[in-house]
Amino acid sequence: MRDHQRLTLLTGVQVVGLTLSGFRCTGVEYVQDGEVVAVTAAKEVVLTAGAVDTPRLLMLSGIGDAEHLRQVGVDVVHDLPGVGGNLYEHVILSGLCFAPAEPLPPPNNNLEGAVAFWRSDAGLATPDLVFVAVQIPLVSPEVGAAYPPPAGGFTLAPALGGVRSSGRLALTGPAPDAPLDIQPNMLADPADVEALVRAVEIGFDLAGQPGFSKLIGSWAAPPRRLDRVAVEEFVRLSATPFMHPVGTCAMGTGPAAVVDGDLRVHGVDGLRIADASVMPTTTSGFTHAATVMIAERAAELLVG
């Protein structure tokens, strides 16, 4: 496939923006060996830079919230307020760490080999919690300071898939290498905190089951079962991003939508987006399979 005459694959380059003629996207610009190179599209451009860099490229190219772009010194081409907003991120708790009863074998399977999906509330239609058994002592710096993890430990990491809290990302300047201002607003919605408190309590129950009790020599982080108040504090200390950002170029028809049902950017001809940024909300499970489905749908639309 790499030898196909219609495929050119470039590595070691950085895309820095889109080229536009009026309200039509005509190509992209990238930097290679310190030089800016422009590539022209015969029909259309498809952005697949992910939920962080896709909105960044749109905003650097003048497509985004007009007021924000003017504030950071970017010329406005198309006022599209939803770009960079609606940021959703799964939350994983880097905690519930245990010392093993016996030394663990060498790690494999990406450090984990089993995942469980569960509901924080029996009335939910779909599971909103994910439990990942990780073959390392995975704890946040704050949890590690409070409860030093054991060498050779392992972790039962609860995560929240059905996230209600959302945030946004924004530019800090017009340069392609300017840092982004990313505000995920994790745990802003009390319902997310409550669901994760329930996740920790379920994690305690799982750790007491025969399958785990044979593996656990002692509890480490935390060293014992906690009461409700302490569990909430533990949630806030251990909450970290799961690196599953979505939603920053959301699909829809309202004023905050960025793409339509065919992945075309509203108000800009010749430009589609085919990555996790188009998901209006996060998935209840991992985002990889859904992103692959978006890519497959994009391929169908392009050849059709």
Which residues are annotated as catalytic? 244
Q: Residue 41 class from Cβ within 10 Å (0-12 exposed, 13-18 middle, 19+ buried)?
A: middle
Q: Residue 48 class from Cβ within 10 Å (0-12 exposed, 13-18 middle, 19+ buried)?
A: middle
End-to-end CA gap in the chain: 21
Question: What are the CA-CA distances from residue 237 to residues 100, 141, 244 (Å)?
Answer: 23, 8, 20
Helix axis angle for 190-207 and 228-238, nearest 10°, is 100
Q: How far is 112 from 24, CA to CA, in rounded Å?
A: 46
> What is the token pair recorded at 127?
């599971």
Which runs of consecutive H residues, i.e. helices, occur in the chain? 50-60, 66-71, 141-146, 190-207, 210-213, 228-238, 288-303
Q: Which residues contact 261 (CB under 8 A, 6 or more apart)?
A: 251
Q: Which residues contact 208 (CB under 8 A, 6 or more apart)?
A: none
Q: Which residues contact 157 (CB under 8 A, 6 or more apart)?
A: 92, 93, 94, 95, 96, 131, 132, 133, 134, 138
